[in-house]
Amino acid sequence: MDDRAVYSDEMGASGPGFGNAEPLRVMHVVLSLDFGGMERVVLELVREGIRRGQQVSVLCLMNPGTLAGHVEALGASVHCVHKPPGLRFDSRPKIRKILREIKPDVIHSHQIGPLFYAGPIARRERIPVIVHTEHGNHLTSSRSFFKRIRIRSIIGITARHMARFFCVSESIVDSVTAYGVVPRHKVSVVPNGIDTSAFEDSSGADALRQSLGIPLNAPVVGTIGRLNEVKRQNLLIRSFAKVLDRVPEAHLVLVGDGPEREALGRLIEELEVAGRVHFAGYQARPQDFLHVMNLFALTSRSEAMPLVILEAWAAGLPVVGSRVGGIPKMIEPGQNGLLFDSGDEAGLVAAFIELLTDPDRARSLGQAGRELVRSQFDTRVMAEAYERQYREVLASSRI
């Protein structure tokens, strides 16, 4: 996994706050704190930042979202300008007012929209450190040519406002540098991290199985994610229906909600597998459902560095993932999971059958994934890499 080398030489700091260094005032800027992979990363950066002695705040451009209360419970402040959808420059005075009140040392935006609004204002307000993290490969993942061009233009315009452009995977770096939208010297990789300890408790798994109507000893394939086209849960369901010919006692669990819910429901009825496919819907603690599963699947047509793979590994699950984006840099076939070509239904079916019919091999792959994520992708590793770069930029700004 090449990504881990990017920040392995940045370790070695003297613990929280880097010894006697002054606490940093860090403001994360997001569209909202609605529940999602990127938002959970921000939540963990808040948690670890406070543990490291930072004074942390979060600026939400559109709405606070479901995770705002969790952020405040950790001791961080949440501010919101309630920007309506669309291009709205009238939100900028509110952003400027909040920046002048908080006076952060660091502005850390997440995704291009927050950088577009907060970056220029932060620069005019002389915020010492302006950095950005891109969590998805939006330069190439959108099916709209004009949308891709618009994103490239926005990134190019806003790049001059930032000192560092972080990407969560090498695939995003490749896209950013290929199109020349950000100077290469500003770009680096900091992979996502998770709180691995949050995925260890499996005590409620039996009760969850019973609530879904799944026998306690039945093999379960599962996934977690928003039900939308890019995640290709339709491919997952079609493949699972074929798996039942070889593993008739298997069940499938989909955790999450989204615009494809009705279409997926119709597909299940068409394939006559309604009794074997279970929608768990939106869950505030989706990690609890990982312990219901014996095998985790991610069938997306586009991904950067999906947090959910790390979470599945932290729960000890083998992972089957599509060979897209940053996933091949995460999964080493035969070592911690299996890969299939994007859209290859036969390949996905074969991978499922291979692991469902060989539980010992499945457990071995899951354990290897668990050991990897604990050693390389814990939130403390991620937070330390970010803080070191905050301080490097801050030190250079004072020269």
Both tokens assigned to 355:
């692991």
What is the per-residue pLDDT across 192-240, written as a single tens digit (0 to 9) for each? Answer: 899 898 898 899 999 999 999 999 999 999 999 999 999 999 999 999 9
Instruction: Average the pLDDT over 307-318 and give the result.
Output: 95
What is the per-residue pLDDT across 5-36, written as a single tens digit (0 to 9) for each? Answer: 333 333 334 344 444 468 999 999 999 998 77
Number of domains in the chain: 2
Kindly state whether residues 359 and 382 are assigned to the same domain.
no
Sign of CA dihedral 38, 43, 46, 49: negative
For residue 144, the model assigns a pLDDT of: 63
Closest CA to 363 of 323, 331, 327, 315: 315
DSSP state for residue 272 in the 8-state scheme: T
**Which of 111-120, 141-150, 218-227, 319-328 has the weakest average pLDDT?**
141-150
Kindly state whether residues 40 and 181 are assigned to the same domain.
yes
E-assigned strand segments in 171-326: 187-189, 220-224, 251-255, 277-281, 295-298, 319-322
> Residue 379 above 50 pLDDT?
yes
Kindly state whether residues 357 and 298 are assigned to the same domain.
yes
Q: Which residue has the tokens 């229906």?
A: 241
For residue 169, the model assigns a pLDDT of: 84
Kindly state whether residues 147 and 228 are assigned to the same domain.
no
Closest CA to 298 of 321, 273, 266, 332: 321
> Residue 173 above 90 pLDDT?
no
- φ, ψ at 278 (rounded to 5°): -125, 125
For residue 139, the model assigns a pLDDT of: 58
For residue 2, the model assigns a pLDDT of: 42
- φ, ψ at 109 (rounded to 5°): -90, 155
Kindly state whether residues 104 and 154 are assigned to the same domain.
yes
For residue 15, the model assigns a pLDDT of: 41
CATH number at residue 297: 3.40.50.2000
**For the whole model, what pTM was predicted?**
0.72
Kindly state whether residues 259 and 295 are assigned to the same domain.
yes
Kindly state whether residues 146 and 235 are assigned to the same domain.
no
For residue 102, the model assigns a pLDDT of: 96
Q: At what angle do helices 145-158 and 112-124 cross, to 10 degrees?
A: 20
Kindly state whether residues 219 and 149 are assigned to the same domain.
no
User: Which has more pLDDT, 135 or 43?
Assistant: 43
Instruction: Average the pLDDT over 233-250 and give the result.
Output: 97
Kindly state whether residues 188 and 202 are assigned to the same domain.
no
- Residue 247 lies in domain: 196-376
Kindly state whether residues 224 and 289 are assigned to the same domain.
yes
Confidence of residue 148 (pLDDT cuts 50, 70, 90): low
Kindly state whether residues 304 and 333 are assigned to the same domain.
yes
